[in-house]
Amino acid sequence: MFPYLGYAGKWLWVDLTEGKVESRDYDPLLAESYLGGNGFGTRLLWENVGPDVDALSPENWLIFSTGPLCGTVMPNPGRMEVVAKSPLTGIYGDANSGGFLGPELKFAGWDAVVLTGQSPAPVYLAIEDGQATLRDATELWGLTASGTEQEIRRLWGDALVKTAVIGPAGENLVRYAGIQITAQRSAARCGLGAVMGSKRLKALAVRGHGPIRIADPKRLSHLSLELQRRLLANPIFPAVSAHGTPGIVSLMNAMGRFPTQNFKAGGYENADRINADALYSRAFVRNVACFGCPVACDKVYQIPDGPFANTSLRSVEYETLNALGACILNDDLDALLAANRLCDELGLDTISTGRCISFAMELWDEEILNLDDTGGLPLRWGDMSVVLRLLPMIARREGFGNLLAEGVRRMSETIGRGAEQFAMHVKGMEIPGQDGRAQRSMGLAHVTSTRGADHLKAFPTIDETGYPDEGRRRYGADYLPELVQPLATKHKAFLVKDGEDFGAVIDSTGMCKSGGTFVLAEIYWPDIGAAIEATTGMSMSVKLLKEIGERIYNLQRCYDAIHGITRADDRLPRRFSAEPSPTGNARGQTIDIEPMLQEYYRLRGWDATKGWPTPEKLQTLGLGDVAACLWR
């Protein structure tokens, strides 16, 4: 009997080759050492998917995993983690989404769903409370994301069914296909939608009516209300709540941290046409929240008139405004929103999609690509008529879209002719909307992230806009002023390591990084420890919790290491060190990550030559078995 409350205490194991669905008990030791969510997925991936497994083969595992705080009353507890080997990078892969699916899965009685094998024909997994069955999805195959969700809801006669679906991009194994979560939020990165497509799994559909039992309801209620009170009192809460992530477009543009024209610049002269104010005045309809979130950073938008009249969408994020805006020199907001919606329907990660397009546009500019290569499509900066034609071609792997569907790294290898120097990726992952020339910690975060270029593993928000109060509260006055200065390198290795460990815990609990933990920065280690105790009944000191974060992050690095990653891969594209930023506060800046990286390895207790966790470090984290495998 699983001893902890807060969890459902069971997970589903699905063999798609055999068509078998089984219930497994949640291992208490796994919960104590890895919590759930991200940690649960990392451990299972380490144990079951070795270096010889191709990410798109039946042997890869696809793990949907909630955590102990998912579906509780903590602020923003609606997140679900998806873990698999990534077909984009060939290393550890994960993606995370809010919405309502994670809590619904727990109401149905399951903490996680783990899928392996490959179905002979398209199927979807139907979960209704304690019952889980594979059902024929032949009629769903080929449908868009929202079309799939609507059809499942129609079949079930229940508009409250929560889904995770792939669109055509996932079916056609686009290497950066995302998984759409009810149906306009995305577990977008790492191409996990292609893993789902390779298994011929069109969707998960979940309906649950049961309870999530809480060990100490009074304590959890009191703590959650106190945290919510702190969030609402935070001076930047109104801005975060009113605008969500688009609210930082103008700030980042002024910093020179808003990637423009495939990272040639860090600021866009027409950013005010695609910023929060432009978006709000043009298309805002209403605020909508994920499960249990007081911030409600999501919005419903609708284009009122013009060629894209009545296009409605949700979850318009900073990253998409960058990737389908500044980075391709597009200032047509309506066309940007239409492209965003199209990506959601096709099941494409907007970040990687935008980066593949900006890469191709720069190659066109440099005359490395011509009309023969593109099948007659001119790739002029900002030409949205071409972008809107390209998106379905990518999702269906048609013509030139077939090359773009491979991601920036593979594109550069295939094209050759010097394309490599414009390929903006780390470890095969397209770089999201930050620039290390303007914010040192983000440059370091891009290279130390275990899933390739990423801002959300370390998520250094403290020095993003310079919040001395948050910096002082979390880390103490000794770290100021450098810690909160975007261009300082001192203490940034420390900030990145702490963020990675804390982030691994947050992604393992089912909490959100956007509302209170990193953005707003009110909820920190002691709060999460207390919430886990009140929810589960498990003892959870800050020391134990930090160890769990370190354990998870080190294990992800070890997973990358057995896939051939060494410190030689911990580097940024040469543009960031060779070409001074021309814009904003970052004008004239380049970035040298080497000193920060050395400091980072030292703080992590990693071997500075190989960039791997040392056997001693792994021993202290209870990962002796992993050390034996890595250092044999």
Verify binding: residue 300, another protein, rule CB under 8 A: yes
Q: Which stretch binds another protein (CB under 8 A): 286-294, 505-513, 540-548, 572-580?
A: 286-294
Q: Which stretch binds another protein (CB under 8 A): 282-290, 337-345, 411-419, 458-466?
A: 282-290
Verify binding: residue 220, another protein, rule CB under 8 A: yes
Question: In angstroms, what is the minimal distance from the CB of 186 to another protein?
Answer: 15
Q: Which stretch binds another protein (CB under 8 A): 219-227, 326-334, 435-443, 571-579?
A: 219-227
Binding mask 161-200 for another protein (x = CB under 8 A): ---------------------x------------------
Tokens of 294: 């007081």
The candidate with the shortest Cα–Cα distance to 193, out of 353, 308, 408, 398, is: 353
Q: Which stretch binds another protein (CB under 8 A): 115-123, 204-212, 402-410, 550-558?
A: 204-212
Question: In angstroms, what is the minimal distance from the CB of 161 to another protein?
Answer: 11
Verify binding: residue 233, another protein, rule CB under 8 A: no
CB closer to another protein out of 521 and 593: 521
Q: DSSP secondary structure string, 573-615? A: -THHHHS---SGGGTT-----HHHHHHHHHHHTB-TTT-SB-H
How many residues belong to the site for another protein (CB under 8 A)? 34
Verify binding: residue 71, another protein, rule CB under 8 A: yes
Neighbours of 230 (CB within 10 A): 16
Return d(Cα 11, Cα 63) in angstroms, integer. 10
Verify binding: residue 210, another protein, rule CB under 8 A: yes
Neighbours of 585 (CB within 10 A): 16
Please identify which residue in 10, 213, 563, 617 interacts with another protein, judged by CB under 8 A: 213
Verify binding: residue 73, another protein, rule CB under 8 A: yes
Residues contacting residue 133 through CB under 8 Å, at least 6 positions apart = 21, 125, 126
Strand, helix or coil for residue 264? coil
- Which helix (H) or strand (E) segment holds residue 206: the answer is strand 201-207
Return d(Cα 151, Cα 148) in angstroms, integer. 5
Verify binding: residue 3, another protein, rule CB under 8 A: no
The phi and psi torsions of 177 (rounded to 5 degrees) equal -70, 135
Burial class (CB in 10 A: 0-12, 13-18, 19+), 218: exposed
Please identify which residue in 282, 314, 397, 546 interacts with another protein, judged by CB under 8 A: 314
Strand, helix or coil for residue 428? coil
Verify binding: residue 246, another protein, rule CB under 8 A: no
Q: DSSP secondary structure string, 445-485? A: HHHH-TTSS-STTT---TTTTT-HHHHHHHH-GGGTTGGG-
CB closer to another protein out of 239 and 251: 239
The candidate with the shortest Cα–Cα distance to 264, out of 362, 402, 336, is: 362
Binding mask 14-53 for another protein (x = CB under 8 A): ----------------------------------------
Question: In angstroms, what is the minimal distance from the CB of 297 to another protein?
Answer: 10
Binding site for another protein (CB under 8 A): 71-73, 103, 107, 159, 182, 209-214, 217, 220-221, 224-225, 228, 232, 285-294, 296, 300, 312, 314
